[in-house]
Every structure is written in structure tokens, then in C-alpha cells.
Amino acid sequence: MLYHLLYISDLRNDASFDMDAIVQNSKDYNKDHHITGALWFDGTTFVQMLEGDRVALSSVLARIMRSDAHHKFELVFFEPAAERIFSDWSMAYYHASKDERDIVKKFATDNTFRPRRMSPQSLITFMRYLEMARHVSAANSI
């Protein structure tokens, strides 16, 4: 059965890590375990939504929670899902393209994006908008 998992966490102030390596390792791991998903990271806050089998997602969740990069971890939801949102991506990574900044502005309050204040449904909508923007950007580059 397919599940969706979404969490928010903050980067530890003292964390040293290579984001490109993390994204590539995640893509490889997720592909091997039939996990799809997306990660949004602004330099301080992670918002990640993953899709896959419950056992596979539980394993990924344990790995993330053990990571030295994360603190203030908040599991927003982990529940059955009817369909994949990110079926094309073992790990889509959103960070700061112009399209993505425009989407973030739409979800910001007082010009500040605060994912911890958003409802689970708003977070899903945010991630869907990022996914749609990626497809539009890809189509425009052809």
C-alpha cells in the first residue's frame, strides 16, 4: 500500500554537510527502494514529502531522524495515499530558482515563509505547486 510522509526540520547550526551529495545519495537510495518524493530547502529549513511502501518510508524516516543535519524535527503526517504526486522523481530538489521563489511568496505570510504554521493540506499544495513549476520549466526549456 502506498503512503505519504511529510516532515519539517531545521538545519543544525553546527551541521556540516554537502547538499548535492545528500540529494544524490537520496536519489540512489530512493530509486532502489521505490520511493519518490521532493525536498524543499532554503538553507535553514527542510520540508520533505516522500511516497512509498510503509516499511520503506519507516526506514528512510529513521535515517533522517538519525542525521546530524536535522533538529526540531516535526512529522506532519504519515498516512495512506491514493496516488503518487512525484512519480517522475526519486528525489526532486527545490531550493531557490525564480519560479520556486515566486511559489514560496504565494504561501508566505508577512513576506516570510513559515511552513510550521501551515496546515498539512497547505503543505501538500505547496509541494504540488513546486512540482507543477518544475514540469512547466522543463517544458519551456525544450
Give tens-digit pLDDT for 99-142: 778 888 888 888 788 999 999 999 999 988 888 876 555 555 55
Dihedral (CA of 61, 66, 67, 70) sign: positive
pLDDT at 96 over 70: no
Q: Where are the domains of the chain?
A: 2-140
Q: Is 69 helix (H, G, I), strand (E, B) or coil?
A: coil
Distances (CA, A) of 95 to 4, 17, 34, 81: 21, 16, 24, 26
pLDDT at 32 over 80: yes
Residues with Cβ within 8 Å of residue 63, at least 6 apart in sequence:
none
pLDDT at 36: 93
* CATH assignment of 2-140, among 3.30.360.10, 3.30.70.100, 2.30.40.10, 3.40.50.2000: 3.30.70.100
Per residue in 34-82, pLDDT tens? 999 989 988 889 999 999 999 999 999 998 888 888 889 999 999 999 9
